[in-house]
Structure 1
Amino acid sequence: MGTAQQQDRHVGKKRLLSLLTAAAVTFAASVAFVTGAGPAAADPVEECTATKGAIVAVDFGPFGGDVVRGCDTTPTTGYELLHEGGFTTEGTQHDGDGFICRIGTVSFNSGTQYPTPATEDCVLTPQATAYWSYWIASPGQDTWSYSPLGAMSRKPQAGDVDAWVFGGTDVGGSTGRPTFTPDEVRAGGGATPGPTGNPTGGP
């Protein structure tokens, strides 16, 4: 075999090795992306205080669950607070992720998101009689206000409490308020109410 042929074969082997290495790296990155797509690990609720972080509470009562709390010590938006608090969400096909159509958590029914597709297809914006309404309370407030902003636009402050309740309300938020108070779920508030109104421990 001539020197030129040996060089060509050597170059070919190096090129093949480079392609195989690149493919392996791409596959590993893809696996890491897929396996890392789950809910974020929430900060322990006790790490959120009146001057640090914010609490989010989701009422799974309409689906047979309890009120589940989450904490994010450095939330930048209400949407991030919900996700960093340990919850997963799904938006609608019409409005995208900004309109939260389903919410789930590993703390309830193995992470199943509600309402399920059998009840709500999340294609269009859900009716005002059956959707996740968004409520907020500032530090020192023990009454809920219907959030004038969507979760992606709201900027939680230290000591804030957010709540998500499934059901119906009007644009002004005069109906459909959470059945629990901000003090019951805020940092240091202790137990949270279950679907029957009896207190249950936080996550």
Structure 2
Amino acid sequence: MSTRATRLAIAIAVAAASVLLGPSPAAAAGSAGYCPDAAGVTVVVDFKELGGGTVVRCAPGDQATGLAALKAAGFQIAGTLRWGEGFICRIEGKPSASTEKCVDTPPASAYWSYWHAPNGGSWTYSDKGVLNRKPPSGSFEGWSFSLNRNADNAPRPAVAPTRPAPAPRTTAPAPPPRTSAPAPPRPSSAVPPLAPPTAGPPNAPPAAGSTPPAGVTPTPPASATSATPPGSSPVPTIAATAPPLAAAPVTPSIHPTDSYPPIEVTAARDTGGLPLGTLAGLLLLVALAGGGLVAARRRRTAEPDD
């Protein structure tokens, strides 16, 4: 057997094994939606007449081939029995095994067409196989099922190859500085000022003929408390402290101008006359002398006359 025949037999065996084992799992889970930046390849699969709509997924990072990008985006694929994964026969189980056996190349009237586009550009039909193309980072890879069409009018993917602009970042406004609420005004406890006194000399005596209010004793002049009536000798007084009496309204019996003011009782020491002890001694001597004179007279009366 020639070398070429050996290689072909090995390829057919590998392809047959892949078909018998079912669709190959994706090399990486990928992520739904467009790649957020140019650090990945966005893969678009449009199922068209097969049903299933259009699916967009991102193959993150650098991708070596179109096949690697399709798997890295998370799509399940199946190749043909003759050519293996070098020719994509099924994507996500479509077309079904009852419709397409995937033994040899699918017919031109029902196959997956392969497209590519730069970001923001337009789709271009790929003239290279899925293993012979390296998609640039940030670009788009497209797959669209072509049914009953030829290469000239194969349907493009229905999604435009344009990565959406990132949403503008919105910075939340800084919260206003926290300020403590002003304390409510406290009720004033100050006593309102009294009305100013009427004009006149302080502590002025009541006018003649006026009656003081009940419970008030008129205050005599300062000179009256220390004056001594004429013709009287100074009387020693003893100061006494009396307990305060309960306050009771006092009604004067006579008009204050018709009575003598009360005399203030104070303790005083008489320094102008003789001491009280000296006077007592003199009185005792006088009494003794008087007694002697009386006794002498009695003796003389009792003696007989010679």
Asked if 1:85 is matched to 2:73, the reply is yes
Higher strand share: 1
Look up the match of 1:137.
Answer: 117
Look up the match of 2:154.
Answer: 175
Q: Is the 8 A contact 2:46 2:53 kept in 1?
A: yes
Tell me the matched-pair count.
Answer: 143
Secondary structure at the aligned position of 2:76 is classed as strand
Asked if 1:59 is matched to 2:46, the reply is yes
TM-score, normalized by length of structure 1? 0.62
Look up the match of 1:114.
Answer: 94
Structure 1 residue runs of 5 or longer lacking an equivalent are: 1-33, 105-112, 191-203
Give the % identical residues. 40
Q: Which of structure 1's runs of 4+ aligned residues deviate more than 3 A?
A: 168-171, 186-190
CA, structure 1 residues 65+46, in 2 after alignment: closer, same or farther (shift >3 Å)? closer
For residues 62-86 of structure 1, the C-alpha deviation after alignment (integer angstroms, 9 at most, x for no partner) is 2221211121122111101100101
| Distance in structure 2 (CA, Å) of the matches to 1:131 and 1:80 | 20
Q: Is the 8 A contact 1:132 1:165 kept in 2?
A: yes
Partner of residue 104 from structure 2, selected from 101, 124, 127: 124
Asked if 1:101 is matched to 2:85, the reply is no
TM-score, normalized by length of structure 2? 0.42
Partner of residue 161 from structure 1, selected from 136, 140, 164: 140
Q: Is the 8 A contact 2:59 2:69 kept in 1?
A: yes
Q: Is the 8 A contact 2:119 2:161 kept in 1?
A: no
| Distance in structure 2 (CA, Å) of the matches to 1:182 and 1:122 | 29
Partner of residue 55 from structure 2, selected from 65, 68, 81: 68
Q: Is the 8 A contact 2:45 2:56 kept in 1?
A: yes
Instruction: Mark the structure with the bigger radius of gyration.
Output: 2
Structure 2 residue runs of 5 or longer lacking an equivalent are: 1-20, 168-306
CA, structure 1 residues 125+58, in 2 after alignment: closer, same or farther (shift >3 Å)? same
For residues 18-47 of structure 1, the C-alpha deviation after alignment (integer angstroms, 9 at most, x for no partner) is xxxxxxxxxxxxxxxx9xx63344333468
CA, structure 1 residues 46+131, in 2 after alignment: closer, same or farther (shift >3 Å)? closer
Partner of residue 152 from structure 1, selected from 118, 131, 148: 131
CA, structure 1 residues 124+139, in 2 after alignment: closer, same or farther (shift >3 Å)? same
Q: Is the 8 A contact 1:57 1:68 kept in 2?
A: yes
CA, structure 1 residues 189+100, in 2 after alignment: closer, same or farther (shift >3 Å)? farther
